[in-house]
A and B are shown apart, each in its own frame.
Chain A
Amino acid sequence: MKLSARIAAPAAALVLAGLTATACAPQTSDTSAGGDEKTGTLRVWLFQEVGNKPKEKVVDAAVADFEKTHEGAKVEVEYIPVDTRAQRIKAAFNDPKSAPDLIEYGNTDTAGYVKDGGLADVSKEFAAWGEAKDTDPTARQSVTVGGQVYGAPLFVGVRALYYRTDVFEDLGIEPPKSQAELISTAKKVHREKPDLYGLVVGGAYTYGAMPFIWANGGELADETGVSYESAINSAKARKGIEAYTSLFGDDNCPAAKCAAMGGNATVTAFASGKAAMAIGGDFSHAAVEAGSVKGKYAVVPLPGVEEGSIAPAFAGGNNIGVLKSSSHRTLAVDLMKSLTGKKTQAKMFDAMGFLPTYTDVRAAVAEKEPFVGPFVDTLGAGAKFVPASSAWGQIDASLVLPTMFQEIVSGRKDVAAASDDAAKKMDAAFADAG
């Protein structure tokens, strides 16, 4: 009796646990659309920017236009913090009931979100939309996965070379015209003014390093038809990696400090007057203006290998997409057009300085605001984009490229070994993504 009780009770507990457990296999949600209602409330998630008020005004105007032309439709806009956007958007995919109808998202996430089954295919509507014809090709690429369009570009962001006019005047030097000159200028400045980094670079600043790879004719990955194959260890890419990592060292940016830096840290260093040059975006303008170098800097395109050429920049930026789970598909697509249309983008530039994705609108704003000139030139010279594969999100999140740069600049591995390892990891991710 006693023995049987001793066994029976835990056994019963286990069976009980087993029963409840089998009833709850890991959760999988159903994100398929639930009809296409023509009235009701549309929910929109946009990113909360630093100094968000001007953005809200532009969005409110676009929403008011939309509500006027769509009887019975209401729009609720929520601004979500950029830091936690990944969790919020994942949660929205996991729980379609509380998900919004439209989201703003970073363009490197497009392929990943498509694979997650979160974004709706709007190829047909996008093709039929008159304004979309002026969308520049890189921006179009950033919403395209496997030939289908999953959203509309909201703005593009590119990086160029910020430099200190007072320092350059002091030393009697000119902004560099080629990559070799960029590196020699950086080292010269640091030699003359040891308190300053010549060109501040970061081991974790992937988007600042990419132009060096592209300028040398390298690629992150080659398209193989169905998937991608890493090209980070090709001879040309290695030349670019070599050039970028040569900037880490006691003659420019000491590895002990710069290896861990990301993009924001380099811009902060420049803004606080600790560097003579930095690779910053058009979106870094406000941060630099707020720093101690206000009025003492200028911007030129980041030089390429050939004298006078421009290094291909990474075309960053955000898109707006319709969620697959939306029950107001037609309305949501119309609102997407309203939020990303030419009128809204022109206003958004005035309010926030975000570069428009339409070539004609962009040319118009460049005339008004000379500061964006170098950035528009950079885009005009041909910006590039990361591989449009869902694997990219994983490669980015698992820090494959920062690890490679950090291994090289800390002297742990040479360029060949580090780039081979990175290529292996990238290929594994591409293979997983299929």
Chain B
Amino acid sequence: MTANTTAHKAPGRAGAGGPPARAPRGRPASPARRSGWTPWLYLLPALVLLGGLLVYPIYQLGLISFLEYTQAQVSGGEPTTFQGFGNYATLFNDSQFWQVLLATVLFATACVLATLFVGCALAVLLTRIRALPRLALMMAALGAWATPAITGSTVWVFLFDPDFGPVNKVLGLGDFSWTYGRYSAFALVLLEVLWCSFPFVMVTVYAGIRTVPTEVLEAASLDGASQWRIWRSVMAPMLRPILIVVTIQSIIWDFKVFTQIYVMTNGGGIAGQNLVLNVYAYQKAFASSQYSLGSAIGVVMLVILLAVTLVYLRLVRRQGEEL
């Protein structure tokens, strides 16, 4: 994440030094043509690593999703059999899967929108306040960011506990149970997800804003543009590459939320009302040892996330933005 920030900062700060440095790579010079294998040679270590750590596990995931593979098969009690699309058929015929999928999509969308909004708003705020409050806000955000999800979730559950939690006492809610109702439980988890993921957006966007030349902003405010107008017509377009990255990151993270749901709703809530896809996959794969069904859910998630990311990138490119 720090790498991201610095990468985005670099071109701006380098100023005129940037483009010439990139030139040799942009225009393939004749030596490069002489041996087409050289780039691949350089890429080889990375490719081997990616192959071992990414391609192979995904291959295994796909393979297991086509087999009948439960604890009995793992420990040799029964032979492994090929099921074709059997696991996928089971999954798609399960009405609970569709409910969970819908809940996941809606929940992730709400999380992404809330995170982006709060993150961007606070990033703009950071540029408008003095050093001391800025430091305080930064430290608070970094603290939230550095807190492990499991610790954050446990603390939030305690804060909102119906019997001992300070939140209910302050708000005078009596013994209202936040995790009992479906929407209040999702809202509680959303708050926690927001709390631990807005700092990434805030810090990244703030770093981006610092690279926007001050003359441009000055010119805009001299022309009488409001703060909102400056954001919409000046900052946001200039920050587009950064916003794209944080959006995709947020979509992927929020779609894959696990810890918060698992800890705060005790594994999926009353009668499974707060299940999201990742927790559902865990319950299938590990709690009830149906590894093949869990793998099938994993493959479905992979496909959905790839599709969302590709469609999003496609839309962005059509608007003439180079990445």
Residues of A within 8 A of B (CB): 1-2, 4-6, 9, 13, 16-17, 20-21, 24-32, 90, 93-94, 112, 115-118, 203, 255-257, 259-260, 390, 393-394, 397-399, 402-403, 406-407, 410, 412
A5-B40, A28-B76, A30-B76 known; A260-B270 Cβ under 8 A: yes
Q: Give residues of chain B (276-298) contacting chain A, Cβ–Cβ below 8 Å.
A: 283-284, 287-290
* B166 touches A (CB below 8 Å): no
Contact flags B66-77 to A (C-beta < 8 A → 1, else 0): 010101111111
Q: How far is the CA of A20 from the CA of B270 in the complex (A)?
A: 44
Judging by beta carbons under 8 Å apart, are A5 and B71 in contact? no
Report Cα–Cα, A406/B180, bound state, in Å: 10
Does residue B120 face the partner (Cβ distance < 8 Å to A)? no
Known contacts A260-B180, A406-B270; is A94 also within 8 Å of B77 by CB? no
Give the size range of B's interface with the partner.
35 or more
Interface of A is mostly: helix
Determine if B72 and A115 form an interchain contact, defined as CB atoms under 8 angstroms apart.
yes
Q: Quote the shortest CB–CB distance from A205 to chain B (angstroms).
A: 13
Cross-chain contact A260 with B179 (CB below 8 angstroms): yes
Q: How far is the CB of B54 from chain A (nearest CB, A)?
A: 10
List the B residue with the shortest CB-CB distance to A428.
B90
Q: Taking A399-B272, A406-B271 as contacts, is the C-beta distance between A115 and B289 under 8 angstroms?
A: no
| Known A-B contacts A26-B60, A256-B180, A403-B271; A116 and B51 likewise in contact (beta carbons under 8 Å) | no
Judged by a CB distance under 8 angstroms, whether B164 is at the interface is no
CB of B261 closer than 8 Å to a CB of A? no
B37 an interface residue at 8 Å Cβ cutoff?
A: yes
Complex interface: chain A residues within 8 A of B69 (CB): 26
Partner of B75, one of A5, A116, A255: A116
Q: Residue B244 at the A interface, CB < 8 A?
A: no
Indicate whether B191 reaches chain A with its CB closer than 8 angstroms: no
Look across to chain A and name the residue whose beta carbon is closest to the beta carbon of B271: A406
Contacts of A118 in B (CB 8 A): 75, 77
19 examples of A-B residue contacts, CB within 8 angstroms: A17-B51, A17-B59, A21-B56, A21-B63, A25-B80, A26-B74, A26-B80, A28-B74, A28-B79, A31-B77, A93-B74, A93-B77, A94-B74, A117-B72, A256-B180, A393-B288, A397-B287, A399-B283, A407-B271
Cβ-defined contact, A29 with B180, below 8 A? no
In the bound complex, do residue B289 and residue A90 qualify as a contact, i.e. CB atoms below 8 Å apart? yes
Inter-chain contact B270/A117, CB cutoff 8 Å: no
Q: Give complex CA distance A256, B175 in Å.
A: 9
Cα(A260)–Cα(B185), bound, Å = 13
B172 at the interface (CB under 8 A from A): no
Whether B78 is near chain A, meaning CB under 8 Å from some CB there, is: yes
> B239 CB to closest chain A CB, in angstroms?
34
| Contact residue among A1, A257, A393 (Cβ-Cβ distance under 8 Å from B36) | A1
Residues of A contacting B179 with CB < 8 Å? Answer: 260
Nearest opposing residue in chain A for B180, CB measure: A256
A20 to B52, CA, bound (A): 9
Q: Taking A20-B56, A112-B71, A256-B175 as given, write out 7 further A-B residue pairs in contact, using a Cβ cutoff of 8 Å, ordered by the A residue number.
A: A5-B37, A13-B51, A93-B71, A93-B76, A117-B78, A256-B162, A393-B289
Is B126 positioned at the interface, with any CB of A under 8 Å from its CB? no
Q: Does B125 contact A (CB under 8 A)?
A: no
A28/B73 in contact, CB under 8 A:
yes
Closest Cβ–Cβ distance, residue B34 to chain A (whole Å)? 9
Most buried by B among A24, A26, A32, A402: A26
Chain A residue with minimal CB distance to B179? A260
Contact A28 B47 (CB under 8 A): no
Check if A21 sits within 8 Å of B59, measured CB to CB: yes
Q: Mark B168-204, 1 if CB is under 8 A from A, else 0.
A: 0000000111011000000000000000000000000
Residue of A nearest to B51 (CB): A17
Chain B: which residue is nearest A399 at the CB level?
B272
Contacts of B56 in A (CB 8 A): 17, 20-21
Residue in B51, B77, B79, B287 with the greatest tally of chain A CB atoms within 10 Å: B77
Which residue in chain B gives the minimum CB-CB distance to A274? B163
Q: Which residues of B contact A6 (CB under 8 A)?
A: 36
Residues of B near A255 (CB, < 8 A) are 180
Contact B77 A117 (CB under 8 A): yes
Q: B130 in the interface, Cβ–Cβ < 8 Å? A: no
Residues of the B chain whose Cβ atoms lie less than 8 Å from the Cβ of A4: 36
B33 contacts chain A at the CB level, 8 A cutoff: yes
Partner of B288, one of A31, A94, A397, A403: A397
